[in-house]
Amino acid sequence: MMYPSLVKGLLIGGAAILLLTSKKVQKGIMKAGVSIYKGVKDSTEELKEEWEDAKSEVMLEKEKKASK
């Protein structure tokens, strides 16, 4: 048989070309990318809010202790 790694590479490359040139697959990839981006962005915003809340609570505790 020919070189097995060459055959495997040709098959994988051919499949990748078919998938990446398909409009349907491209739309799916773009939708998935947008969904991932939105999820990360929303999670980041949530973490920022939680961080600010925690920071405010610590500052309030410090002020209460200082005023006693």
Residue 56 lies inside a defined structural domain of this protein: yes
Helical segments of 1-68, H only: 4-21, 23-67
- Does residue 54 lie within any of the structural domains? yes
Binning pLDDT at 50, 70 and 90, where does residue 20 land? confident
Count other C-beta atoms under 10 Å from residue 29's C-beta: 13
Query: Does some domain include residue 10?
Result: no
Q: Could you give the number of structural domains in the chain? A: 1
User: What does the alpha-carbon distance between residue 34 and residue 67 come to, in Å, rounded to a whole number?
Assistant: 50
Q: Is residue 3 part of a domain?
A: no
Q: What is the pTM of this model?
A: 0.54
- Full residue range of the structural domain in which residue 66 is found: 23-68
Does residue 15 belong to any structural domain of this protein? no
* Within a domain: 2: no
pLDDT digits (tens, 9 = 90+) for 37-61: 999 999 999 999 999 999 999 999 9
